[in-house]
Structure 1
Amino acid sequence: MPAKQLQPDPQQEALEWFSVLRQPGCDETQRQAFGAWCQVAQNAHAYAELEAFWQQLQPAPARPRPRPVTVRRSHLGKWLALVFLLGLGAAAYLYWPLMQRLASELHTDTGERRSTRLADGTTLSLDSASAMNVDLRGRTRQLHLVQGQVYLEVMLDGRAMEVAVGNARIQVYGTRLQVARHANHDELVVLTGKAMVVQAGEQRLVSAGERVTFDDTRIGPLQKVDLKTIDSWRSGRLKAIDLPLGQVLERLARYQGQRLWLVDEQVAHRRVSGDFNLDRAGETLQSLAAAQHLQLHRVLGHWLVVR
C-alpha cells in the first residue's frame, strides 16, 4: 500500500503520460484520456514544457556540410553556449532517473512502497523510488532491478530465475531474498534458500542469513545479517544495528527524492543504531543530524548537503 498520498502534480502526470504514449501498446482509449487531461490549461502547459525539453535532448538531423566560412565569434557567444549546455546537462542528470523509472514496467514514486504478485506466483515488494522490469516468458524468468530496492518471495515452478543488477547477474536458488542498488554499490541479502552472484568471471554463493555487496569491478566478502531487521522498511521503519551513518542518511534522503552529498566523507563511516521512521523522513533526518552534530542544507529540492 502507498506510504502516503501525493497531491496531483501536472509535471509528474505529464511525465507519466509521456511514458504511456510512447509504449507500443498505447491504444485509442488512452489517447482520448490524454486529450481530456490536456483540456486543463495547467496540464497542457506542463506537457508542452516536457515535450520541448525532450526535443532538446534528441540528436540534430544530419545536414549537408556548409562551405567553409571564416567567422569571427565573440567570447560572449561561447560563454552563453557553454552555460546553456551545462544547464541542459544538469537538467538531464536530475530528471533522467525519474524518466527511467517511468519507462520501467513496475515502479514506485518517492516515498511510496508497493507489493505486486506476478503471473508465476512470485511476490515482489518495491521500496521508495524503485523500478523493475519483468520477463516471465522464457525457460529462465528474467527480472531487472533498474533502481532502488526490491524484496522477493519467489514461487518455485520448475524454471530458473535470474535477477540482473547493473553488470551482475543473480541466480536464484531460494525463495526469499532482497536486492538493493545504492549510490556506490549493489547489495544482495538472502533470507531463505541460496543465490549466486555472477559478474565478470567472478561468482559468490550466498546462503540464508548472509549478505554480499558488489560493484562493477568486484564482489565483496560474505557478511552475516540480522534477519529480524533486514526487511523492516516494508513496514515503514529502518531498524539499524551498527550501520554506517552514510547508508542511513542515503536511505532517508531517498525517501524525500533527494541525492546525498557528504562534505566530509569520514562522516559516512560513523556507526549508528536506532529505529528510524521512513514515512517521516524529514523529521527523522533533522533528529539524526542534531544527534550527530551535523548541518543539513537542501539545494534546489534535489540535493541534501550534509556538513
Structure 2
Amino acid sequence: MPAKQFQPDPQQEALEWFSLLRQPGCDEAQRQAFAAWCQVPHNAQAYAELETFWQQLQPAPARPRPQQISVRRSQVSKWLALAFLLGVGAAAYLYWPLMQRLASELHTAVGERRSTRLADGTTLNLDSASAMNVDLRGRTRQLHLVQGQVYIEVMLDGRAMEVDVGNARIQVFGTRLQVARHAGHDELVVLSGKAMVIQGGEQRMVSTGERVTFDDTRIAPVQKADLQTADSWRTGRLEATDMPLGQVLERLAGYQGQRLWMMDAQVAHRRVSGDFDLDRPAASLESLAAAQHLQLQGVLGHWLVVR
C-alpha cells in the first residue's frame, strides 16, 4: 500500500491521458472516461495546456519557397530552425524519464512509494519515480527495472527469475534483494539468499549481506552491505552511514522531481552520515546544505544546482 496519500495531480493525470489516448488499443470506454475526467475544470485546463505545449513542439507545415530569398532571411531561418531543434531536444531530455515511466507496466510518481503483489506471489516495493515491466508467462520469470529502485520479495514457485537492469542481467537465487538505478551506476543488494550479476563475459555472485555496483562497461568487486540502512527508504527515511554526499543529494533531489548538478565534483565525494526524511525532501536538503556549507539553486523546476 502507498506510504502516504496523495492529492490528485491534474498535470500528472493529463500526461497519463495524453499517453493513453494515443495508443492503438484505446477503446470507446476509455474515451468516455476521459470525457468524464475533463468535466472537472482543473483537469480540462491541465489537458488544454499540455495540448498547447505539444502543438508548439510540432514543426510548421512546409510552404513553397519563393524564387528569390535574401541572404539575411535565409540566415534568420537557419537560426530559427536551430532554436526549434534545441527546444525540442531540451523538452525531450527533460520529459523522457516521465514518458518512460508512463509507458511502463508498473510505475510510481515522484515522492510516491508503492507495494505490488504479482500473480506468482512475489512482492515488489517500488521507490519514488520508479518503473518496471513484468513478464511471468515463461519458464523464467522476467523483471525489467527501467528507472528508480525496487525491493523484491521473491515467491519461490519452482521457476527461475531474472531481473534486467540496463545491459546487465541478474539471476535470482534468493528471496529478498534490492536493485537500484543511480545517475552513474546501478546497484544490487542481497538481503537474503544469493544473486548473480552477468554482463558480457563478466559475472559476480552476491550473497546475503553483500552489495555490488555495475555500469555499462564493468562490474565492481563485491562489498559488504549495511543491511540496517539499505532498505530504510521503505519507511520514508534515508539513513546514510559514511555515504558519498553526491549520492545523498541525488536521492533527496529525486524525491522532489529534480536532477542533480554538482558544480564541484570533489564535493560529491565527501562522506556524510545522517537520518534524512524522504517525505520532506526540501527541508532535508536545506539542513544538509547548511551543515555542508553548500548553496542550492533550483532551475526551471527540473534541476537542482549545488555550489
Letter paired with 1:37:
W
Write out aligned runs for 1:176-255 (5 A): 176-255=176-255
Write out aligned runs for 1:7-156 (5 A): 7-23=7-23, 26-51=26-51, 71-73=69-71, 74=73, 75-156=75-156
Deviation larger for 35-44 or 151-160: 35-44
Tell me the SS of whatever aligns to 2:30: helix
Give the percent of matched residue pairs that are identical in Structure 1 and Structure 2. Answer: 83
- After superposition, the C-alpha distances for 1:87-144 in whole angstroms (9 at most, x for unaligned) are 1111111111111101111110111000011000000100000000100001110000
Structure 1 unaligned residues grouped into runs of 5+: none
TM-score normalized by structure 2?
Answer: 0.92
1:185 to 1:59, Cα distance in 2 relative to 1, 3 A? farther
- After superposition, the C-alpha distances for 1:44-85 in whole angstroms (9 at most, x for unaligned) are 443344346556778999x9xx99977444322222222222
Tell me the SS of whatever aligns to 2:230: coil
Q: Does 1:284 align with 2:277?
A: no
Q: CA deviation at 1:158?
A: 0.7
Letter paired with 1:187:
E
Does structure 2 retain, via aligned residues, the 8 Å contact 1:123–1:154?
yes
Q: CA deviation at 1:3?
A: 4.0
Q: What is the distance in 1 between the residues matched to 2:98 and 2:26?
A: 20
- After superposition, the C-alpha distances for 1:195-223 in whole angstroms (9 at most, x for unaligned) are 11111111111111111111111111101
> CA RMSD of the aligned region, Å?
2.3
Aligned to 1:260: 260
Q: What is the distance in 1 between the residues matched to 2:5 and 2:76?
A: 47
1:23 to 1:162, Cα distance in 2 relative to 1, 3 A? farther
Does structure 2 retain, via aligned residues, the 8 Å contact 1:297–1:304?
yes
Tell me the SS of whatever aligns to 1:279: coil
Q: Does 1:159 align with 2:175?
A: no
Structure 2 unaligned residues grouped into runs of 5+: none
Letter paired with 2:250:
E
What is the aligned length?
Answer: 304
TM-score normalized by structure 1?
Answer: 0.92
Tell me the SS of whatever aligns to 2:275: strand
- After superposition, the C-alpha distances for 1:232-278 in whole angstroms (9 at most, x for unaligned) are 10000111111101100000000000000000000110001111111
1:53 to 1:171, Cα distance in 2 relative to 1, 3 A? farther
Q: What is the distance in 1 between the residues matched to 2:196 and 2:49?
A: 45
Deviation larger for 81-90 or 188-197: 81-90
Q: CA deviation at 1:228?
A: 1.3
Q: What is the distance in 1 between the residues matched to 2:156 and 2:114?
A: 22
Deviation larger for 48-57 or 202-211: 48-57
